[in-house]
């Protein structure tokens, strides 16, 4: 390794990548290391994204993750992280009317008053990393003791260690030497990872609009009766979910998620095809909704992990030297605690290289 500070590339500014960048910085304290984060999107958050409508007269809407549920065990073992987020005002206990069936295991629920992307941004800001958006990793090439990582937009770089936190099917599509460094067993494990697919639809209303429902969060029964899989399984109203003071200058927003069977059936459809189906179902479920000023529909091809990487405790090391690791919820489970377990599991391996 050269005498200049080691360079670490984290691919993905979602929760796992941002947590890892922050934790690595904290662990290395004053030791010099250059942490670089790339994300193909225009901002941080990944599946914890918060969409701000083009017309700022409506509240923003979380399109992916909605709130954070922790079990008693994780509330205990991850106590310092929850305390940090509560103290910073990034999280607060969920305290809003919830209707419909909801699985509960006795743990604690938190909402993010500034939107779920605020959780990711909190850790990213503390990482001191150089963060580059609209930078999509397209291939990894082994160059003696380092990795050359190429970007679809041009402008790649040379790194001493690389962490991939992108969904596993996207890891398997990367070009270069990746396929050569992984064993056939590792490839089998990665090919066994699967995700549900969902659509999110957000409606943004003008100031003063009344959405005409008493709840902040509503679950609809998930059923799959042949062709009649239910379209909508979840709905939430902002700013009610966040329990923040209603801002008279901004109208409410409503976000709905489609059920997993519907997502599976329509995953190859365009948003333009699916949006009218969701809107029609919404009209049936909530006939008194006012006219929105704008609508945003998003397809989550990789929503929540339904089958995690077998036998992994948070990450998979594809190459020891130069270090190449893949991680994320696919190596644990799809929520805050799952991403945190993944980020923590890699710290020692990276710190040893620095
Ligand atoms: C609809 C939905 C509802 C959910 N509900 C909840 C919930 O209520 N509570 C909860 O805790 N969790 C929930 N989850 C799960 C949670 O959002 C995820 O577990 C978590 O966000 C995963 O974080 P990650 O960093 O591992 O991956 P991601 O968030 O997917 O981050 C990966 C990042 O990599 C970027 N990327 C991809 N390819 C490239 C590339 N080639 N180059 C550069 N960047 C790239 C992406 O843009 C993305 O930002 C939900 C998810 C969805 C989709």
339 lines ligand 1 (CB under 6 A): yes
Checking phi first, is residue 226 left (phi over 0); if not, alpha (psi -120 to 50) or beta?
A: left
**What's the confidence (pLDDT) of residue 195?**
98
What predicted TM-score, i.e. pTM, was given to this entire model?
0.96
**Which ligand 1 atom lies nearest to the CA of residue 300?**
53
- Rounded CA separation 130/29 (Å): 17
15 CA → ligand 1 middle, Å? 7
Query: In testing the pocket of ligand 1, which one of 65, 147, 198, 308 has its CB within 8 Å of the most ligand atoms?
Result: 65
| Res 1: pLDDT | 47
The atom number, within ligand 1, closest to the CA of 17 reads 25
What's the CA gap between 28 and 20, in Å, rounded? 12
pLDDT at 228: 60
Give Cβ neighbours of residue 318 (< 8 Å, ≥ 6 apart). Answer: 178, 181, 182, 186, 324, 325, 326
Ligand 1 within 6 A of 292 CB? no
pLDDT of residue 222: 65
Ligand 1 touching residue 263 (CB < 6 A): no
In this structure, the residue with its CA closest to atom 13 of ligand 1 is: 65
pLDDT of residue 104: 65
Q: Whose CA is nearest to atom 37 of ligand 1?
A: 166
173, 302 Cβ separation under 8 angstroms: no
**Residue 164 vs residues 66, 157, 319: alpha-carbon distances, Å:** 24, 15, 12
Distance 47 CA to ligand 1 centre (A): 3
Alpha-carbon distance of 290 to 348, in angstroms, equals 53
106 CA distance to ligand 1 middle (Å): 25
Q: Say how far apart CA 109 and CA 137 lie, in whole Å.
A: 35
Cα–ligand 1 centroid distance for 210 (angstroms) = 31
Check if the beta carbon of residue 242 is closer than 8 Å to that of residue 210.
no
**Ligand 1 centre and the CA of 316: distance in Å?**
18
Task: Render each residue's pLDDT in the chain as its tens digit; 354 residues.
Answer: 457 899 999 999 999 999 999 999 999 988 889 999 999 999 999 999 999 998 888 999 999 999 999 999 999 999 999 999 999 999 999 988 888 866 666 789 999 999 999 999 999 999 999 999 999 999 999 999 999 999 999 889 999 999 999 999 999 999 999 999 999 999 999 999 999 999 999 999 999 999 999 999 999 976 555 556 689 999 999 998 987 666 778 999 999 999 999 999 999 999 999 999 999 999 999 999 999 999 999 999 999 999 999 999 899 999 999 999 999 999 999 999 999 999 999 998 888 777
């Amino acid at each position: 390794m050269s005498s200049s500070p080691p360079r670490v590339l984290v691919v993905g500014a979602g929760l796992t990548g941002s947590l890892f960048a922050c934790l690595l910085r904290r662990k290395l304290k004053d030791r010099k290391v250059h942490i670089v984060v790339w994300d193909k999107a225009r901002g941080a958050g990944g599946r914890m994204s918060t969409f701000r409508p083009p017309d700022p007269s409506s509240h923003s809407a979380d399109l992916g993750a909605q709130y954070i549920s922790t079990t008693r065990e994780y509330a205990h073992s991850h106590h310092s992280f929850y305390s940090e987020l509560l103290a910073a005002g990034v999280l607060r206990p969920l305290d809003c009317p919830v209707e419909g069936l909801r699985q509960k295991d006795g743990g604690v629920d938190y909402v993010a008053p500034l939107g779920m992307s605020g959780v990711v941004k909190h850790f990213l800001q503390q990482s001191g990393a150089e963060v580059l958006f609209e930078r999509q990793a397209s291939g990894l090439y082994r160059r003696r003791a380092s990795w050359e990582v190429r970007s679809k937009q041009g402008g790649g770089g040379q790194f001493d260690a690389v962490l991939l936190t992108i969904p596993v099917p996207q890891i398997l599509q990367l070009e270069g030497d990746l396929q050569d460094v992984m064993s056939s067993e590792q490839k089998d494990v990665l090919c066994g990872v699967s995700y549900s697919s969902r659509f999110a639809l957000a409606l943004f209303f003008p100031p003063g609009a009344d959405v005409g429902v008493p709840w902040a969060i509503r679950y609809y029964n998930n059923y799959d009766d042949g062709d009649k899989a239910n379209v909508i399984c979840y709905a939430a109203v902002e700013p009610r979910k966040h329990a923040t003071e209603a801002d008279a200058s901004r109208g409410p927003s409503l976000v709905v998620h489609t059920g997993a069977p519907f997502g599976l059936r329509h995953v190859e459809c365009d948003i333009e095809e699916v949006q009218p189906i969701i809107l029609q179902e919404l009209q049936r479920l909530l006939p008194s909704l006012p006219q929105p000023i704008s609508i945003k529909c998003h397809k989550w091809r990789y929503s929540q992990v339904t089958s995690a990487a077998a036998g992994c405790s948070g990450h998979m090391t594809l190459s020891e030297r130069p270090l190449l690791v893949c991680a994320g919820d696919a190596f644990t489970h799809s929520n805050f605690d799952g991403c945190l377990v993944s980020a923590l599991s890699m710290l020692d391996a990276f710190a040893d290289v620095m």
